[in-house]
Amino acid sequence: MAELQQLRVQEAVDSMVKSLERENIRKMQGLMFRCSANCCEDSQASMQQVHQCIERCHAPLAQAQALVTTELEKFQDRLARCTMHCNDKAKDSIDAGSKELQVKRQLESCVTKCVDDHMHLIPTMTKKMKESLLSIGK
């Protein structure tokens, strides 16, 4: 993928992740740590009970992190498939005898379209993740 296009996607995804971390994940981390501290306050509990309590406290955060990771991987896979399609089209054009400069322009145009299309998906993906994170946090 062209460096400029890659940078556009990276900056948009970084911005989304920072927003999710600041607005959702961080609150969940605070809850997890306070919950875990409460587990340790129970002097009557066995070591195993305290450990299980801490695990229960950590579960929502682990679920949230897994959700974000999965969504980002799906997004990256879709973008990669789109750019691979562009590469295949470029290879086919070269095999058919097209001029290299023309093929290069077609490839750049195709990759730019992939990036543009996927940039438009980010707000919807962000909204979906925030809704999912809110339901996990309850």
Look at residue 5 and tell me if it is in a domain: no
Q: Residue 127: pLDDT band by 50, 70, 90 thresholds? A: very high
Look at residue 103 and tell me if it is in a domain: yes
Look at residue 56 and tell me if it is in a domain: yes
Q: Which two tokens stand for residue 6?
A: 């890659």
Question: Which structural domain, as residue segments, surrounds residue 132?
Answer: 15-137
Q: How many domains does the chain have?
A: 1
Q: Residue 17: pLDDT band by 50, 70, 90 thresholds? A: very high
Q: Which pLDDT belongs to residue 101?
A: 87
Q: Which two tokens stand for residue 43?
A: 């002097």
Look at residue 33 and tell me if it is in a domain: yes
**Residues 71, 125 contacting (CB under 8 angstroms):** yes
**Chain-centre distance for alpha carbon 84:** 20
| Non-local CB neighbours of 105 within 8 Å, separated by 6+ positions | none
Res 112 pLDDT > 80: yes
Q: How far apart are CA 12 and CA 97, in angstroms?
A: 37
Look at residue 3 and tell me if it is in a domain: no
Look at residue 100 and tell me if it is in a domain: yes
Burial of 112 (0-12, 13-18, 19+ CB in 10 A): middle
